[in-house]
Structure 1
């Protein structure tokens, strides 16, 4: 059985990661409530109970409150830090009274941004730091300098990217002494550009595909972990009320339900298992804070291992609305 690139590198064997964007209340500057802490504690415990040991953050999530509330969980469970892998992201800066929303991979932003993450989480280091979205003004040599300073200070152990093309990864990697270990992308049964880009080669239907050429192949050849954000597609195939939804969504949701019944598993396990069946050994980053939905994800590994090629293609055809060319 093929193992994940992160496991090959000895970083993490957590087949699913937990995305913490849903923790920390709302996106305003309103203070955290007692309920926010309770939700975070229950979600983390649920994730741990099904074997999830990798937790994904970003400095912007709930304007830092996601990391604060998670830090309180760690404070209450001091033994937990050594049992988990912590990942966070930097590079997005919100609009304020003076400046526009922007991306910033400058050394002067990244280093204090990481200090802020560590402070909010109450930890001494991150296991993985990702560059959140491509910065058109990024300078690979400056990025390398920042990464080296963070690593030498013991603040970050590994580095990766999010939402980047193969060319952008190679561009940055050319200046780095250590390999990028992650690329986090939006991939799901509802977001199929990553599949379409490969199967619509030399097809007119491929003209409108919005997924850069060669990302999956590059990551697999370079042992870069592909992480999928939004893997549950906001629940549209796993129980969300579908009002005025396209026929493809309605029919695919029905098919997911049918397969879940046949395999005696959850809807979430079918949706995630389909994604995890891909030979890239994709690591879904589930973003729900619902204990029920977290627990429902547990069987995804078994589903991915036992899903047939025909079942996988049946789900693909249903979601895309037409057969493959």
Structure 2
């Protein structure tokens, strides 16, 4: 398992993250097996959000592993807040209340990282700054970040927030590549050249913000997995299978490796509840894909390399 430093923190994290969005429907025993297997594979980073299962995923997580101080110190735990029923809320009152709820459900005294989930168009960054100061001073949250934010949205927060923004969780997969498309096809009159995210990947590298890739196996916005989809991604699947045979891993590992190969040290957030798939994915943590192979996967997914 490749371990990476999270800039702006004292944390050293696995580049594979266990996302806990779907664990609510699992038995406590199966959930414990999933968590402990991930730790045996070298994963030390666990991602939550207060909306996952209406908060029940956090409760389920802590119950399944019997959260205690000794176990807690072996984990990096991250959660997110700001999404409410049909709207977003970055008010100081909501952030503080959300963190108290998160900590109670996870049965822990602190979060390693708190992310603001999806951008609140009505954000008052002065309130966010006050909330972050309070959470840091109380020891409830050690580090702060965002999710699905653009460079200018981050800059607006940074004008008032004194803590480093250490992470940004963004959708990224072989079949969803806006993070790299416009840079590869710069200054060309094609759809691939359209800058859809303000250059957030380059911005993150320039400002030492760790990118966390969610939905690493999805095509588009929840249109289903691209692995095994021979109707829409036949060439891609055939090429991935060739590489899987070369590296003696599964196609899942290659899909993960395409993300982890990027020099930005991107973390891959897995949402799987399947232990076998988890193990396969972890094998993609540090596969040394060549540049030719990385670009070959990109082209096989239907993208153009000038």
TM-score (norm 1): 0.87
Matched residue of 1:40: which SS? helix
* Aligned partner of 1:236 among 222, 225, 228: 225
Q: Is the 8 A contact 2:253 2:280 kept in 1?
A: yes
How many Å separate the matches in 2 of 1:6 and 1:58? 20
Q: Is the 8 A contact 1:92 1:133 kept in 2?
A: yes
Q: Is the 8 A contact 1:90 1:110 kept in 2?
A: yes
How many Å separate the matches in 2 of 1:209 and 1:60? 32
How many Å separate the matches in 2 of 1:164 and 1:177? 18
Matched residue of 2:58: which SS? helix
Matched residue of 1:114: which SS? helix
CA-based RMSD of the aligned residues comes to 2.0
How many Å separate the matches in 1 of 2:12 and 2:217? 22
Q: Deviations over 1:245-292 (max 9, x none)?
A: 31xx12211211111011111212111111111111101011101000
Q: Deviations over 1:16-67 (max 9, x none)?
A: 1110001112xxxxxxxxx531231121012111100000000000111110
Match runs of 1:172-183 below 5 Å? 172-183=157-168
Partner residue of 1:87? 78
How many Å separate the matches in 1 of 2:96 and 2:67? 27
How many Å separate the matches in 2 of 1:162 and 1:175? 18
Judging changes above 3 Å, is the alpha-carbon distance between structure 1 residues 117 and 14 closer, same or farther for their aligned structure 2 residues?
same
| 1:173 to partner: Cα distance | 1.0
| 1:13 to partner: Cα distance | 2.4
Q: Is the 8 A contact 2:21 2:52 kept in 1?
A: yes
How many Å separate the matches in 2 of 1:207 and 1:19? 29
How many Å separate the matches in 2 of 1:121 and 1:219? 29
How many Å separate the matches in 2 of 1:114 and 1:9? 19
How many Å separate the matches in 2 of 1:257 and 1:77? 42
Greater mean deviation of Cα atoms: 132-141 or 259-268: 259-268
Q: Deviations over 1:274-317 (max 9, x none)?
A: 111111110101110100000112221231xx211101111000
Check if 1:294 corresponds to 2:275.
no
Partner residue of 1:310? 292
| 1:153 to partner: Cα distance | 1.2
How many Å separate the matches in 1 of 2:197 and 2:140? 32
* Aligned partner of 1:163 among 117, 141, 148: 148
How many Å separate the matches in 2 of 1:41 and 1:59? 20
Judging changes above 3 Å, is the alpha-carbon distance between structure 1 residues 46 and 209 closer, same or farther for their aligned structure 2 residues?
farther
Partner residue of 1:97? none
Q: Is the 8 A contact 2:8 2:164 kept in 1?
A: no
Partner residue of 1:31? none
Tell me the number of residue pairs that the alignment of Structure 1 and Structure 2 aligns.
301
Check if 1:112 corresponds to 2:101.
no
Q: Is the 8 A contact 1:257 1:267 kept in 2?
A: yes
* Aligned partner of 1:253 among 233, 237, 259: 237
> Which blocks of at least 5 consecutive residues in structure 1 are unaligned?
26-34, 95-100
How many Å separate the matches in 2 of 1:179 and 1:76? 28
Judging changes above 3 Å, is the alpha-carbon distance between structure 1 residues 251 and 308 closer, same or farther for their aligned structure 2 residues?
same
Matched residue of 2:73: which SS? helix
TM-score (norm 2): 0.93
How many Å separate the matches in 2 of 1:91 and 1:197? 29
Q: Deviations over 1:137-191 (max 9, x none)?
A: 0011110000111111111000000000011111101111121100000011010
Q: Is the 8 A contact 1:21 1:61 kept in 2?
A: yes
Judging changes above 3 Å, is the alpha-carbon distance between structure 1 residues 201 and 297 closer, same or farther for their aligned structure 2 residues?
same
> Which blocks of at least 5 consecutive residues in structure 2 are unaligned?
none
